[in-house]
């Protein structure tokens, strides 16, 4: 997957600094506004211990033991699932100035942790005082990061949340004692999905689709395994254009402008990945290769919001489906 390329190894010196500095101010303000305890509920700072604890959870990197229900969670790029379960994280994922805009209404006051230079900052994580760290993928845990973070708080590693948001939500529900709510959200999504497939059946029959990602250095197509590609081609069962299978299903092969005329899909959704990709976007959209594509000529090429089309979760996937229904005029 593309996201893991940002998670380059943390250097050994960061760990040495962690032990030397302790909780010294790293410039990142600790999260202070986690959800208040409900009436008659034990405060978050003193969770009630029950006979069910301690609990041991097995994952791809080992075992994680919880002595009580976690209340202060750091789950970078899994904030969608946390918010779906009614939990505000103590820190949020960012990539430089880029954050998951579609979640910012709920996360605007949560301090970011920048992954653009390898993150996370161990000092920032320590200062936030999480009682559970949930890692999005094995790539996020590689090169010693799992061991480093496990020294701060119990750390659970999901193999690949990008291709399995429902499994991710279920596992977080289990870890946070919110199983019923997780199942309710999944059932609601399945109902939305079933209705969408019915609405799309007549419009999408015998039509082909593609999702174009404009990146800073190239153009690629979304596969049917991750993020919005999985939503369209696996869940909604829309037919991918043959070029999608050829260039994206196993690996992301860049598309040259000269090759672009082969992308004669009936419908194209496209997203531009931030300011760094604006130059490539202008080159693409100004080219006769793009302008002569059937989907473009027929008004069936639609720009979509990158922050949730390049994400996976109850909220992201719900918005992706709503976009498809609206842009194909069947909502």
95-112: b or e for each residue (b if 16 or more CB lie within 10 Å)?
beebbbebbeebbeebbb
- Given 1.20.1070.10, 3.40.50.300, 3.40.50.1980, 3.30.9.10, which CATH number is that of 191-327? 3.40.50.1980
Please determine, for residue 147, whether its predicted confidence score (pLDDT) is greater than 50.
Answer: yes
Of the pLDDT bands very low, low, confident and very high (cuts 50, 70, 90), residue 51 is low
Mean pLDDT of 41-57: 64
Distance CA 6, CA 261 (A): 31
Distance CA 64, CA 325 (A): 41
At how many degrees (to 10) do helices 179-204 and 165-175 cross? 170
Phi, psi of 124, rounded to the nearest 5 degrees: -65, -40
Answer yes or no: same fold for 3-177 and 191-327.
Answer: yes
Please determine, for residue 142, whether its predicted confidence score (pLDDT) is greater than 80.
Answer: yes
Q: Is 170 within 8 Å of 73 (Cβ atoms)? A: no
Q: State the sign of the Cα–Cα–Cα–Cα dihedral 33, 38, 40, 41.
A: negative
Which structure tokens are listed for 176?
């946070």
Domain spans of the chain, in order of start: 3-177, 191-327
Please determine, for residue 325, whether its predicted confidence score (pLDDT) is greater than 50.
Answer: yes
Mean pLDDT of 190-210: 96
- Could you tell me the CA-to-CA distances from 202 to 88, 114, 179, 199 in Å, in that order? 40, 44, 36, 7
Homologous superfamily in CATH for domain 3-177: Nitrogenase molybdenum iron protein domain (3.40.50.1980)
Q: What is the pTM of this model?
A: 0.82
| 58-73 confidence digits (pLDDT tens) | 999 999 999 999 999 9
Q: Is 330 exposed, middle or buried (0-12, 13-18, 19+ CB in 10 A)?
A: middle
Q: Kindly state the DSSP code that residue 237 receives in the 8-state scheme.
A: -
Q: Is 53 within 8 Å of 110 (Cβ atoms)? A: no
Distance CA 17, CA 21 (A): 6
User: Is pLDDT larger for residue 331 or for residue 65?
Assistant: 65
Of the pLDDT bands very low, low, confident and very high (cuts 50, 70, 90), residue 272 is very high
Distance CA 99, CA 209 (A): 28
């Amino acid at each position: 997957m593309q996201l893991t390329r940002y998670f380059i190894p943390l250097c050994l010196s960061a760990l040495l600094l962690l032990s030397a500095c302790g909780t010294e101010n790293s410039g990142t303000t600790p999260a202070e506004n986690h959800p208040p305890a409900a009436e008659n509920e034990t405060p978050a700072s003193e969770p009630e211990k029950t006979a069910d604890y301690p609990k041991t959870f097995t994952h791809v990197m080992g075992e994680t033991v919880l002595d009580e229900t976690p209340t202060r969670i750091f789950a970078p790029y899994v904030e969608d699932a946390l918010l779906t379960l009614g939990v505000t994280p103590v820190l949020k994922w960012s990539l430089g100035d880029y954050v998951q805009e579609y979640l910012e209404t709920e996360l605007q006051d949560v301090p970011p942790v920048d992954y653009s230079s390898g993150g996370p900052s161990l000092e920032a994580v320590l200062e936030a005082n999480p009682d559970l760290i949930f890692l999005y993928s094995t790539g996020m845990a590689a090169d010693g990061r799992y061991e480093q973070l496990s020294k701060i708080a119990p750390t659970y590693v999901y193999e690949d949340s990008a291709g399995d948001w429902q499994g991710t939500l279920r596992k977080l529900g289990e870890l946070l004692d919110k199983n019923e709510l997780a199942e309710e959200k999944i059932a609601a999504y399945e109902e939305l999905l079933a209705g969408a497939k019915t609405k799309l059946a007549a419009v999408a029959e015998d039509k082909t689709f593609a999702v174009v990602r404009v990146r800073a250095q190239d153009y690629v197509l979304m596969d049917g395994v991750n993020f919005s590609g999985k939503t369209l081609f696996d869940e909604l069962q829309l037919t991918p254009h043959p070029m999608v299978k050829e260039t994206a299903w196993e690996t992301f092969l860049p598309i040259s402008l000269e090759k672009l005329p082969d992308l004669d899909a009936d419908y194209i959704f496209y997203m531009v990945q931030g300011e760094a990709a604006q130059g490539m976007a202008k080159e693409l959209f100004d080219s006769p290769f793009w302008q002569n594509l059937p989907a473009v000529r027929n008004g069936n090429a639609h720009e979509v919001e990158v922050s949730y089309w390049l994400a996976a979760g109850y909220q992201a996937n719900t918005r992706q489906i709503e976009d498809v229904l609206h842009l194909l005029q069947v909502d």
